[in-house]
Amino acid sequence: MTTDLTSSTITAMLSEAREAPQVVARLLDANTPLCRDVGERLRASPPPFAVTCARGSSDNAATFVKYLLEIHSGLVTASVGPSVTSVYEARPRMRDALFLAVSQSGRSPDILNLAQAGRDDGALTVALVNDTSSPLASTCEVVLPLHAGPERSVAATKSFIAALASGLQLVAHWSQDKELLAALDSLPDILAKAAAIDWSAALPELSQADNLFVVGRGVGFAVAQEAALKLKETSGVHAEAMSAAELMHGPWTLAGDHFPILVLSQRDETLGGVNDLVTKLNEQGVPVVVAGAAEGPATVMLPSVENVHPYLAPIAMIQSFYPLVNAIALARGRNPDNPPRLRKVTETV
């Protein structure tokens, strides 16, 4: 018998995850004028490419923005390693590019170094940052505050969701896509529904696993990365994010009775391939937990918010996932708020 995750032990992580719908509503309202201005500027002078710069959960959010920019805006986007400038002292050419730095604290020296290099070379530097008094906010030309407020838990939740929403808002206003803008307005309500969805059916399977894959594809790959990271840091599970396409090239040989797969899927052009993967995994006897739009035989099928724009669906899924990973951590005897050897602000060079 499983536990209803909506009534599970209230940690700081779970409490902060539940704030995300209000955080996103605040962000969308406050940042609309900023995003309109940046969008107008980008339309007047289209960048030849984009660069993202981030670490940890923020880098997962940057992956989401990369897919949005490449799929929706047709803009080649590179994730540049901050060590390129901070350690190797190289200066990649970024003139006229759109440079996006994503950070909760805005204080890591390597992120600051790359952001300064981008600005010095003539890129339009934009910071998606929670701390607007941080050095990163001072370094970048444009600041899009995440409006998440303080996070006490080491494991970021509401600030990650805010970063996804911020990137989506920027792309929507840049493109002036009316359908996407209308969908964006519904995001706080969608998140509230997603937060109330119970994924406890997955708890027995995932809490007993020491190794697993989290699978996503396209715009959903970023939340697969985030889910895998959260399983590592809060629950001590060796979880690896894997593209549904890459999994078929060899890694799936690892999966089996004690190595389950969590599949997160949205209803878009990737769905057919993801459905085929779920069917093949089931035929191989691999335990599969499926959330989102995917269909087919699975060990566990999790509910999700229906009729959601495919760009919003991954954000809703990570909102539903956070209570599950909180429960997994507690079931494994760990405190998700204070993982061993981790601290809230990590400063790397």
> Domain of 201?
197-332
pLDDT of residue 146: 98
Q: For 251, list phi and psi in degrees, rounded to 5.
A: -60, -25
Domain boundary among 151, 169, 193: 193
The one-digit pLDDT tens for each residue of the chain (349 residues) are 345 665 557 899 999 999 999 999 999 999 999 999 999 999 999 999 999 999 999 999 999 999 999 999 999 999 999 999 989 999 999 999 999 999 999 999 999 999 999 999 999 999 999 999 999 999 999 999 999 999 888 889 999 999 999 999 999 999 999 999 999 999 999 999 999 999 999 999 999 999 999 999 999 999 999 999 999 999 999 999 999 888 877 787 788 788 999 999 999 999 999 999 999 999 889 999 999 999 878 889 999 999 999 999 999 999 999 999 999 999 999 999 887 655 545 556 5
Which DSSP category does 87 fall into?
T
Q: Assess whether 243 and 311 both reside in one domain.
A: yes
DSSP 20-50: HHHHHHHHHHHHHHHHHHHHHHHHHS--S-E
Residue among 229, 175, 194, 218 at smallest CA distance from 311: 218
CA angle 130, 62, 54 (to 5 degrees): 65
Which three-class secondary structure state does DSSP give residue 286? coil
Q: Assess whether 189 and 239 both reside in one domain.
A: no
Q: Assess whether 171 and 291 both reside in one domain.
A: no
Residue among 325, 248, 258 at smallest CA distance from 291: 325
Domain boundary among 193, 208, 234: 193
Q: Assess whether 274 and 288 both reside in one domain.
A: yes
Q: Assess whether 204 and 253 both reside in one domain.
A: yes
**Cβ burial, residue 35 (10 Å; 0-12/13-18/19+):** buried
Q: Assess whether 189 and 240 both reside in one domain.
A: no
DSSP 91-118: ----TT-EEEEEESSS--HHHHHHHHHH
Residue among 309, 327, 320, 18 at smallest CA distance from 197: 320
340 domain-assigned: no
Which three-class secondary structure state does DSSP give residue 224? helix
Query: 181: domain CATH number?
Result: 3.40.50.10490
> To which residue do tokens 């969308």 refer?
28
Contact partners, residue 315, CB within 8 Å, separation at least 6: 161, 164, 165, 168, 187, 190, 191, 223
Does the CA dihedral 327-320-33-35 come out positive or negative? positive
Q: Which two tokens stand for residue 345?
A: 């602000």
143 domain-assigned: yes
Rounded to the nearest angstrom, the gap between the alpha carbon of residue 287 and the centroid of all alpha carbons in its chain is 24
Helices (H), the chain: 12-18, 20-44, 56-72, 83-86, 109-120, 135-139, 158-175, 178-185, 187-196, 203-207, 221-235, 244-247, 271-283, 313-331
Residue among 56, 20, 12, 339 at smallest CA distance from 153: 12
- When divided into structural domains, the chain yields a total of 2
Q: Assess whether 121 and 189 both reside in one domain.
A: yes
- Relative to beta strand 288-292, strand 261-265 is parallel
Q: Assess whether 16 and 113 both reside in one domain.
A: yes
